[in-house]
Structure 1
Amino acid sequence: MRMKIIVAAGFTCLLASGCGGAASSSDGVDSKATPTGTILPQRLDQPDTSPDLEADAPADDAPFSKQLEHELSVRTLKMAQGEGKATAQCPSDIESNKGRTAACTTTYDGLKIRWDVTIGDTAAWSESYVEYKATPSTGIITKAGVAKLLFGNYKGYIDYALCNNIPKATLVPLNVETKYKCEVVDKGKKPTGFATSTVRATEAGPRAY
């Protein structure tokens, strides 16, 4: 019998865009004004490419544990929003029965995230799918993900961004302010030395406001 594949409970197909509109971040600042704050040291330019956020899919008849590992790998990549691969490991004996729980681990750029998984009901629209809930133990911030976010939020206005040394990838708590801050520098403007955005990690990727 073909094993069930899975769909996340409450999953939405379209992720919310990053906070912050396309308005200029330095309106009213003279392009020749002398900076009065501390210029942040790390420059982020527009990314050349968009990262691949899809992990290699297992075969349709792969064991349920492999289907679950694929789902969690994809969710980890979407959280990171950066180049790289994610792998996952779940107990091989986990079954698609309601109420079953398991602890899985995903790895991205050497960073490990624990996911607490609970299996839910069979999907109302198909017996081949089952709902599940998976809660990550922490979030991820990547330099590439923040660059992608800022150039998306301020498309048409931003020249570059200055940040305080965001690592290539690092673990941070979910949905709270981090120590990482950025200033968006508009086209034709100079940096003021004042950070305009504080970075946060969410399951949908970084946010900055």
Structure 2
Amino acid sequence: MSEQIVVRDLGLVEYLPTWQSMQRFTAERTPDTVDEIWLLEHQPVFTQGHAGKTEHLLNPGDIPVVQVDRGGQVTYHGPGQLVVYLLLNIRRKKFGVKELVARMEASIVELLQGYGVAAYAKADAPGVYVDEAKICSLGLRVRKGCSFHGLAFNLDMDLEPFNRINPCGYAGMAVTRLINLVDNVDRESVKDSLIEILVTRLEYNERTNANSLEGIDV
């Protein structure tokens, strides 16, 4: 079987139905199901990992909070943040979870290097950082050898909602975005560059593009 991947660019979508679609896709996939990557932005929402502590929700206000089944604590999603969901059969890929996380982090570091930004990962706090400020968060769930959820990369979003939480469970953690680090942020260029890097680092050699969840029971 060739290493195929379907890349779906879904635009701006609500969190809950997208999460439910990820769950359904993962539950119904077979050993021969082709892996997928979903690129999207979410309407404003806080998501709390399955072991998340309520004290990290400081003042959510009018932004909804959704308890989800990924690892990690609380984070924020909103327009201007590129979310990448990785629906991969990592057992077939022969990746462990740590290996997948390392490849995700390395992809963001490589992307930022292309913009002249020095970024790095931390062994004790998954994600990608620039000058001690977090620019990309990670959260995964693996079920029967298959991953879902993924990463959230801050492009030109409003960062104010991060003040209403302890991001990823760290009080006072600084958060940044690409627009603070480079002169111009073209979302389409960032998406194109990141997906090329991810597909290469995840070792796929055949890619199909789609712009909807057509064929998936949403």
For Structure 1 versus Structure 2, the TM-score category normalised by the shorter chain is under 0.3
Q: Which has the higher helix share?
A: 2
Larger radius of gyration: 1
- TM-score under structure 2 length normalisation: 0.23
